[in-house]
Amino acid sequence: MNARTVDWTGLPTPRTSESTAEGLRERKKRLMRQQLTDTATEMFMQRGFDAVRVSEVAEACGVSEATVFNYFPTKESLVLDRLDATMASLRTGLIEPAVAPVEAALRILDDELGAMTTWLASQDDPLKAGNLIKRFGDLIDATPSLRAHQSEMMDQFVAVAAELLAEQSGMSPGDPEPQIAATALLGLWRIQFEALRKYLDGTRTPEQVREAVTADVRRAAQLIAAGLNAFGGFMPTRRTPRPGASVGRRTLPQTTNELAK
């Protein structure tokens, strides 16, 4: 793995794959996929997304352009490949029995954040590595096609989440309750993304970054959990996190005063 790019392989894709034995063919495909996205991301960050052709990425990896598109349907998905993992995790996490929607979302977010901060801690220069992550965010912000792809994927996440929540609650995916619940849940990803950019300031260790980002996401999650609790007919077979209850590595605040902490 090239240390100049972020290694996302520490994040299970999805959770259920942790217990699946990986054959030789699957391992080769995974490593090729990782090589393609690592190489593309590095080239995009050096020269700009629009200045690099897919054929150049293929040549750098010693494969054909057709091979690249066998792994990634679009140029944008070469750099935003982790969104596919998030979709897979949503599909499994939101149907897990006896797990509240907010808790399921927090578990996925914690996995993603943990993979990133674990990679940060493994680097010889965590400050430089943190700047690399911030540059990655800047690349997305500066590229209209990447922003559009990210927005489209988020719309798909909301649609999938609404469908799964509606199924669990006996509602229609078009009903306002699953729609607003799904939109709110996926908003936690935006909170985490913005918190990362805020706390990767070079003054915190990777573990401190994780704690600070988690605290921001937890504050937002508390409001969502309170909203779902207020509507008693939503998700009748699930439990929403109780104030003070542990959610993975996160603990929701017990009182509104704790939101300021």
Phi, psi of 173 (to 5 degrees): -60, -25
The pLDDT, as a whole number, for residue 21 is: 64
Phi-psi region of 51 (alpha: psi -120 to 50; beta: other; left: phi over 0): alpha
Residue 54 lies in a domain: no
Residue 46 lies in a domain: no
Residue 74 lies in a domain: no
Chain CA centroid to CA 43, Å: 22
Q: What is the CATH number of the domain that holds 253?
A: 1.10.357.10
The number of domains in the chain is: 1
Residue 3 pLDDT > 90: no
Closest CA to 224 of 102, 68, 82: 102
- 226-251: pLDDT as tens digits: 887 765 545 444 444 444 444 444 44
Domain that holds residue 256: 79-260
pLDDT band at 20 (very low <50, low <70, confident <90, very high): low
pTM: 0.76
- CA–CA dist 32, 259 (Å, integer): 44
Residue 14 lies in a domain: no
- 173-216: pLDDT as tens digits: 999 999 999 999 999 999 999 999 999 988 999 999 999 999 99
pLDDT band at 16 (very low <50, low <70, confident <90, very high): very low
pLDDT band at 167 (very low <50, low <70, confident <90, very high): confident
Residue 12 lies in a domain: no
> Which pair of structure tokens corresponds to residue 21?
């034995």
Arithmetic mean of pLDDT, 62-87? 92
Residue 215 lies in a domain: yes
Q: What percent of the chain has a predicted confidence (pLDDT) above 90?
A: 56
Residue 22 lies in a domain: no
Per mean pLDDT, which of 8-12, 62-66, 177-181, 222-226 is the most reliable?
62-66
Q: For the chain, what is the mean pLDDT?
A: 82
- 39-53: pLDDT as tens digits: 999 999 999 999 999
The pLDDT, as a whole number, for residue 1 is: 36
Residue with tokens 């469908």: 163
- CA–CA dist 92, 245 (Å, integer): 22
